[in-house]
Structure 1
Amino acid sequence: MSKVSIPKYSLSEELINAISHGLGVGLGIVVLVLTICFSAAHHNVIGVVSSCIYGSTMIIMYLISCLYHALSPKLKAKKVFRVLDHCDIYAFIAGCYTPYSLCLIGGIKGWVIFGIIWACAIIGILLNAINLEKYQVISNIMYLGMGWMIIISFNSIRKEILLPGLVLLVLGGIVYTIGAILYGLGANKKYLHCIFHFFVLGGSILHFLSILLYVL
């Protein structure tokens, strides 16, 4: 962990970072409860399982991020949480894919997509756990690559989902991508990382609406 560097943010920046993703924890709880209840009401077992995976990965990602930014840079635990913070992004991306692959696409193709995306997530988590700094560029590429891997199954999704659900899915991807660009610039410009956090929240809300209203 001694090799893990901590970006320097002001106290006000870290306060905003922690609060914004603290709100994300609340969002994740709402997502978990509503998606499970909606799936259960429709007697959709796969939907319930997918909702548990999707909602729990969202809660964990936002919780780890919130705690990471809330911790003092003087604490060694902050380095641990920085690694966990980056690892959880992979899990959340795969968690978002789960309802689309298992509930919307379904069948063998859906399970193949599910397997591929989770395999990528596990590989990414292992790379970050081994050496976060060494594989940071690879991780950033993998985040975006996994996020837009949905293009491979775009035709299948387009046939199964109503247009508003598809629009929400694509808009969410665009918002996340803009956020990723801001993240890349955020180390050098004050409050840009804070803005990145709100773009992540925006992308999460758009995908949640797509999943709840048009997938489950």
Structure 2
Amino acid sequence: MNNTVTVSLRPYSIKEEIWNCIIHGTGIALSIAGLTILVVLSSIYGNVWAIVSTAVFGVSMILLYTASTLYHAIPNPEIKKKLKKLDHISIFYLIAGTYTPFLLVNMRGTLGWTVFGIIWGLALTGTVLKLRFSGSGTKLWSIGLYLIMGWMIVIASEQLFTSLPRTGLLFLICGGLFYTLGVLFYIWKSRQYTHAIWHFFVLSGTTMHFFAVLYSCVLL
């Protein structure tokens, strides 16, 4: 029996797709739980900035893991093509959503709002480009934009790092490293399960950033 899916938009074996769905399906459940925890604790220990910004972060997590799970679960080529765009676009919003609590709770001020505007501007730019263009040629600039957005924090690193507790800072850095190392498996298409491994790194990075937000922006 042939276990390979032949649709060009789905170049993974059925077993690979099952793992892709399991990992990011788990991400949906964890994201819903994470959103609930952050918003409830923010309402108890934080302020309106914490409530709104952690809600944005939580929704961005749910969007990404839902889009990814549906993309890998649904075989219909036309639906899959649309879900692939949504999957890639949602990465821009997860990055911007992750920045939001740190910028609005820990920083604000001129620098905080400047980085906030830039990062969400880049997310919107990436969205427009993804909707306007398609094909394998978009992959390289998409990855480049993801990495630029992810590491743009170095612009405000001194001010941000001094405003974070050590525990939150360690979780923040670990999350960034998980995402960055995971890109290697995202690019590496020649071996089976590398995409599932990429998904594991993404979930690990998101988990680290959840705790970074929890300890830095909520439980101050």
Structure 1 residues 17-73: Cα deviation after superposition (integer angstroms, max 9, x where no partner)? 01110100011111111111111102510111101110001001100100000011x
Q: 1:115 aligns with which of 114, 117, 139?
A: 117
Q: 1:207 aligns with which of 206, 209, 212?
A: 209
Deviation at 1:135, TM superposition (A): 2.4
- Alpha carbons of 1:206 and 1:43: their partners in 2 closer, same or farther (altered >3 Å)? closer
* Structure 1: distance between partners of 2:123 and 2:10: 24
One-letter code of the match for 1:78?
K
Where does residue 164 of structure 1 map in the other structure? 167
Where does residue 91 of structure 2 map in the other structure? 89
Where does residue 52 of structure 2 map in the other structure? 49
Where does residue 196 of structure 1 map in the other structure? 198
- Alpha carbons of 1:43 and 1:101: their partners in 2 closer, same or farther (altered >3 Å)? closer
* 8 Å contact from structure 1 (residues 128, 136) kept in 2: no
One-letter code of the match for 1:160?
S
Where does residue 30 of structure 1 map in the other structure? 33
Unaligned runs of at least 5 residues, structure 1 = none
* Structure 2: distance between partners of 1:63 and 1:50: 20
Moved over 3 A (4+): none
Where does residue 70 of structure 1 map in the other structure? 73
Deviation at 1:7, TM superposition (A): 4.3
* 8 Å contact from structure 2 (residues 175, 205) kept in 1: yes
Where does residue 4 of structure 2 map in the other structure? none
Give the total of aligned pairs: 210
* 8 Å contact from structure 1 (residues 104, 161) kept in 2: yes
* 8 Å contact from structure 1 (residues 18, 69) kept in 2: yes
| TM-score, length-scaled by structure 2 | 0.92
Which deviates more from structure 2 when the two are superposed, residues 28-37 or residues 130-139?
Answer: 130-139
One-letter code of the match for 1:136?
K
One-letter code of the match for 1:208?
F
- Matched-pair identity in %: 39
